[in-house]
A and B are shown apart, each in its own frame.
Chain A
Amino acid sequence: MANLGERVLAGDIRAASRLIRNLEDGIPDTDLIMKDIFLKTGKSHVIGITGAPGAGKSTLTDELIAAFRKKDRSVGVMAVDPSSPFTGGAILGDRIRMMRHAEDKKVFVRSMASRGNMGGLSKAVGESIHVMDVLGQEVIIVETCGVGQQEVDIINHAHTVIVVLVPGMGDEVQALKAGLMEIADIFVINKADRDGAGKLYKEVLSVIEMSSRNCGGDGWTIPVLMVESVLEPHKFAASVAALGEKIEEHHQYLVANNLIEARIRNKTAAELNEALWASIMQPVLNELNAEGEFEMMVDQLMKRHIDPYTLAREIAGRYMKRSPCGDGSSADQS
Chain B
Amino acid sequence: MSRKLRVLIAKPGLDGHDRGAKVLARAFRDEGYEVIYTGCHQTPEMIAAVAIQEDVDLVGLSCLSGAHNYLFPQVTRLLKEEGADDIVVMGGGIIPEQDHAALHEAGIAAIFGPGTPLDAITGWINDNVKPRD
B55–A18 touching, CB < 8 Å: yes
Question: Given A103-B45, A111-B36, are A87 and B29 neighbors across the interface (CB < 8 Å)?
Answer: yes
| Stretch among B46-54, B62-70, B103-111, B113-121 lining the A interface | B46-54
Question: What sequence of 0s and 1s flags, for each residue 9-48 of chain B, a beta carbon within 8 Å of any chain A beta carbon?
Answer: 0000000000000000110111111111111001101100
With known contacts A21-B55, A26-B1, A96–B35 Cβ distance under 8 A: no
How far does the alpha carbon of A89 sit from the alpha carbon of B36 in the complex, in Å?
11
Give, as a whole number of angstroms, the nearest-CB distance from B41 to chain A.
8
Q: How large is the interface on B (under 10, 10 to 19, 20 to 34, 35 or more residues)?
A: 20 to 34
The answer to whether the Cβ of A175 comes within 8 Å of any Cβ in the partner chain is: no
B25 with A91: CB separation less than 8 A: yes
Give residues 62-109 of A contacting B (CB, 8 Å): 83-84, 86-93, 95-96, 99, 102-103, 108-109
A282 and chain B: residue at smallest CB distance? B1
In Å, the complex CA distance between A21 and B2 comes to 11
Contact with A17, one of B33, B55, B83 (Cβ below 8 angstroms): B55
Interface residues of A in 132-151 (CB under 8 A from B): none
Most chain A CB within 10 A, of B2, B34, B43, is at B34
Interface of A (DSSP majority class): mixed
Beyond A90-B34, A93-B37, A103-B46, 14 extra complex contacts between A and B, CB < 8 Å: A14-B82, A14-B84, A20-B55, A87-B30, A87-B31, A88-B4, A91-B25, A95-B36, A99-B39, A99-B46, A102-B50, A103-B45, A108-B53, A109-B50
Interface residues of B (CB under 8 A from A): 1-4, 6, 25-26, 28-39, 42-43, 45-46, 49-50, 52-55, 82-84
Q: List 29 A-B contacts (CB under 8 A).
A: A13-B52, A14-B52, A17-B52, A17-B53, A17-B54, A17-B55, A20-B55, A21-B6, A25-B2, A25-B4, A84-B29, A89-B29, A89-B30, A89-B33, A90-B29, A91-B26, A91-B37, A92-B34, A96-B38, A99-B38, A99-B46, A102-B38, A102-B45, A102-B49, A102-B50, A111-B36, A111-B54, A113-B4, A113-B34
